[in-house]
Amino acid sequence: MSDDEAELRWQEESLERARREGERIAALHAAHDFAALRVRLVRQFRDVVLPSLRSIGFRGSPPNLYRVRENVVDVVMLQVDRYGGGFAVNLGTMPLSDGDAAAVRLRSIPFEDRARLTRDPEGLQDRWYRYDGPTGTPEDQQDAALREVAALTGAADEWLRTGHRGGHVIDNR
């Protein structure tokens, strides 16, 4: 087989794999109501992750939580994949001037420092938490991902307090 033929075969196989993966995802979306899973995600976030965030001083309700420390506001935001099947947990900090704490509007804060929790233990790759994988139900995958996020509250708190990027936190600037 010539190099050109091998390249063509590789491209055809790649296209076939992509087509099968697209069909798998389309079937998954047809079989599951991702709008309902989004509502469930926020509810489960409240039950599984929120208690650990409350224990370190966060207020608000998902998807936007905040904590005011001295002259800094820390924010944790749940970002859901617009197409369903995944989510990210974004972190942000910004200094506050005197009196600004009462005027905090989470959607309009120009964060000076941003990061994201990631499944990558080294914090080198931006990996969203997915619940549309090939194994298990989306609900089971969602629950496992939220338990993982709850366990990473300490890593998030460390980054918010120190700016030190450790495991499971990736800069998002």
**Alpha-carbon span 32 to 34, nearest angstrom:** 6
- Residue 65 DSSP SS3: strand
- Residue 166 DSSP SS3: coil
- Phi, psi (degrees; rounded to nearest 5) at 21: -65, -40
Mean pLDDT of the chain: 83
User: Which of 91, 94, 116 shows the shortest CA–CA distance to 104?
Assistant: 94
Residues 23 and 104 in one domain: no
Residues 52 and 75 in one domain: yes
Q: Determine if the pTM surpasses 0.95.
A: no
**Alpha-carbon span 94 to 85, nearest angstrom:** 30
Count structural domains, the chain: 2
- Looking at residue 104, what is its pLDDT? 57
- Phi, psi (degrees; rounded to nearest 5) at 63: -90, -5
3-class DSSP string for 105-142: CHHHCCCCEEEEECCCCCCCCCCCEECCCCCCCHHHHH
Residues 23 and 60 in one domain: no
- Looking at residue 50, what is its pLDDT? 96
Residues 115 and 146 in one domain: yes
Please say if the pLDDT value at position 89 is more than 90: yes
Residues 15 and 74 in one domain: no
Q: Which residue has the higher pLDDT, 108 or 14?
A: 14
Residues 2 and 71 in one domain: no
pLDDT in tens, 106-156: 555 566 788 888 888 877 777 889 988 888 888 999 999 999 999 999 999
Q: What is the mean pLDDT of residues 37-62?
A: 93
Q: Which residue has the higher pLDDT, 23 or 160?
A: 160
Q: Which domain holds residue 15?
A: 1-31
